[in-house]
Amino acid sequence: MQTIVVTAAIIKHRDRVLIAQRKENVHQALKWEFPGGKLEAGESPEQCLVREIREELGLTINVQKIFEVVSHIYGERHIILLCYLCRLIGGSAQTRDCHDFRWVEINELYFYDFAEADLPVVSNLQKRK
Ligand SMILES: Nc1nc2c([nH]c(=O)n2[C@H]2C[C@H](O)[C@@H](COP(=O)(O)OP(=O)(O)OP(=O)(O)O)O2)c(=O)[nH]1
Ligand SMILES: [Mg+2]
């Protein structure tokens, strides 16, 4: 089994959080997630998140602190998901490398079909609201 390290950004802005929908024809296609991606060689998790959020949504963020670490197995893929609280510092979101995105209230997160690894993160966000 392969283990991959993935970063995910919880970007809160005016009582809403940014969620993204994964593209068609990728792992977990069309599921909703906290945007981010795989750590590349030599990169810190913070650098990875800043890069991924620019690539996928065209936004500039500050990575603030770790919120949750999730270990999840999807068949033959084991992911370690590092979820960070982030602050938006520039840009307005565009669908550069995602299918869609939404700014949603924390109590609306339940309406979206999230990737399985995100379910504990969604419920923790709702608890700590
Ligand atoms: N970014 C992100 N990935 C997640 C979340 N939940 C979840 O199960 N994943 C999984 C889906 C994928 O198997 C893996 C992340 O891969 P990815 O496809 O986003 O990676 P990437 O952005 O670097 O894209 P690529 O270069 O591989 O195309 O983690 C989440 O909330 N955010
Ligand atoms: Mg990604």
Question: Domain boundaries in the chain?
Answer: 2-127
Measured between alpha carbons, how far is 73 from 64 in angstroms, rounded to an integer? 27
**Residue bearing tokens 């990737």:** 115
What is residue 83's predicted lDDT score, i.e. its pLDDT? 98
Q: Dump strand ranges (E) for the chain.
A: 2-13, 16-21, 32-33, 36-38, 60-74, 77-90, 100-105
Q: Please state the residue numbers annotated as binding site for Mg(2+).
A: 36, 56
6 CB near ligand 1 (under 6 Å): yes
Q: Which residues lie across from 100 on neighbouring strands?
A: 21
Give residue-wise pLDDT tens across range 36-52: 999 999 999 999 999 99
Asked if pLDDT for residue 124 goes beyond 70, the answer is yes
- Kindly give the distance from the C-alpha atom of residue 65 to the centroid of ligand 1, in angstroms, as a whole number: 20
Strands 77-90 and 2-13: what pairing? parallel
Please write the tens of the pLDDT for every residue from 65-106.
999 999 999 999 999 999 999 999 999 999 999 999 999 999
> 2-127 sits in which CATH class?
alpha beta
Q: What is the pLDDT of residue 129?
A: 67
Predicted model pTM = 0.96
* Closest C-alpha to 18, from 40, 36, 1, 4: 36
d(CA 70, CA 80): 6
**What pLDDT, on a 0 to 100 scale, did the predictor assign at position 128?**
80
ipTM above 0.90, yes or no: yes
Ligand 1 closest atom vs CA 7: 1
